[in-house]
Chain A
């Protein structure tokens, strides 16, 4: 008999007032009992709608059945057939628009907390010591450019098949957006480094400080004996609004702000990398990155942090949980509000952000209602720091240094459904192809490309 409790089993979190002042993980995770109880809520529908909602098609009801029975190792095995980074996905996937959106339990009450159970199963697995068997080498070399979700997944899949894989990472630490973008309190870096250690144990080599396109080109890699190259360079280029005053001191791109905090550890006392300790912060945007930036600003000691977003609550693209957590911590949501100018003082330091009120009109191309300016509604919000979290686009470096690599006008690399680019032997996946998307989609693309690369090399 399924557990007919209509709401999700509560996941413990750090109390909002306390966590808003530290960088420790907010959600504390399930206990074994919690996980069993929640997994038992699954109805095991014949048509398995949740599986179709998962970008990598994890056999969700199967792992839930194992978890409900307390067979957590077996549950892990089910997940790991489809996903290579479950401890990460359990934390950062937007489950409410994917698997959980399709859950029949969600019609009357809350869907099964699939993400929370996935997280528990993965963490429990990771707590134990595991001996990774190094696969039999097959003698073929593949290069992976970028060590974010797509690159890590692609490298892992290939290594398991026996390929000699080298990852080239531009920064000094592997992990891509998982280390420079997503903050510690949402995704502890120890979890990311564990996944990376797992890859190393599989024999994957990681070369940091390697900006491909500058230090070496994709063609150099192919000439150096790599039979195939996977490009997973993400979408790292920040967008700005192109409004007046954006060059004032105190205006950050979310990328810069988060990189200083997360990658460079600027939040720690005595860190070498500086960060502005602002009093009143406006974060422009409504996605996960905006929530991350706002919550980091709060933790750095700001008195007031606002999310400034031109659409309404319904349209916020961030994960529901992040929005809830941000609200609990005291982030102010100024919705239907759009900045028109950053106002600087005589020293060009941010003094305020001038905004207009918006109202929602007809749906636009994205299907969301288009925000329209309310005439005469301009007002000034006094702030000393503005963080622009407006999305990112792919870095043009690879494109500009790889002859014959076709890209879209906006910079995304053109591939077929298996990740093959216009250049033979060169594959791509993740945000570099799709533009800014999710960790799980990037992982899926890395996995698909790994199999296409395997097929390509075998057929040579």
Chain B
């Protein structure tokens, strides 16, 4: 029997390997995590006008996200209520209706069934169109313009779901002039479990110097991250270099102080970004305070639970769409600040795609690890074992300014432990009330030794 409460030991930083393999666990993840959590859909900037839409997935459910007449964004399951065929085959566009390619049933952008060919003749006018609209995604909301959806009407608000992570995310998502995504995304397959890239991005700075030894050497010669090259030594104590945080909802990040700039190969590009950051920093400090102005200038790798990852510095924004226990579709955008000069936006996008896009030099280095981390557990004896995320155990603390649980070292696995703590809670809990009951004591699991 599957006892999901035994898969994760947060206190000791141990995870069962079965979570990367078992179909039964994957099925439970779809039910308890992907059908209940807020999941990334798109960005306000990609669907600015009435009738603008994109198609994507929530878990393995196909959805359409569309801007309404009243300016609000709604999302619907992309499947005809008649016989189930999709009603939109395009990835994006602008439309007044979605028409099923099977028999021509037509839906408005509000999801209502508007037209049924030969309705009078073949249904004798007895089809109740009002009960045959597209299934609607229960909740859609945005945080700083990033739009998320949730299938569960009982779920907490997006703001509550983000919890303490919202304070951190505002440091870059809430840039003074706002942020936007440059689309369309690139799309590619990786043969890994959806959690391996989520945990890699949530805070693994340990791999940067080793997995990316060649690219840090060749590409990052003007960055503080260059010092990590080869994992031979640290140029400064890890706590001087940055920090880790985890939050109630499993979201987390590793933050390298002062690391946002200097990641480009040409001095001119680095100077341009550097000048931009210098000009914005006082505005960030005024709006959000000095602590977050420091974070604004830092390099980050982070994950918003469960499958939405980002980098600040390379400015990658990703979602890992599950395709079974052993495969994902990776969608990748570039994020920029809206009021940046057009030339700087293009520089950021070009560099992002060169490093973390489909032909990205760092992306493909990560992919081999993510795949072998997943596939090794196809072995029965191998997956009887456990995995270790103990780095930084005992160094967790609370902070007067920074919310959640933090640790003064950016090479750390605190955010991994927080991710899997919440992962297990979601699998175990049958209701949000059950999850809320843990909210008063979640920090203790990390803090008490």
Partners in one complex: no
Q: Enumerate chain A interface residues (CB-CB to B < 8 A).
A: none
Q: Enumerate chain B interface residues (CB-CB to A < 8 A).
A: none
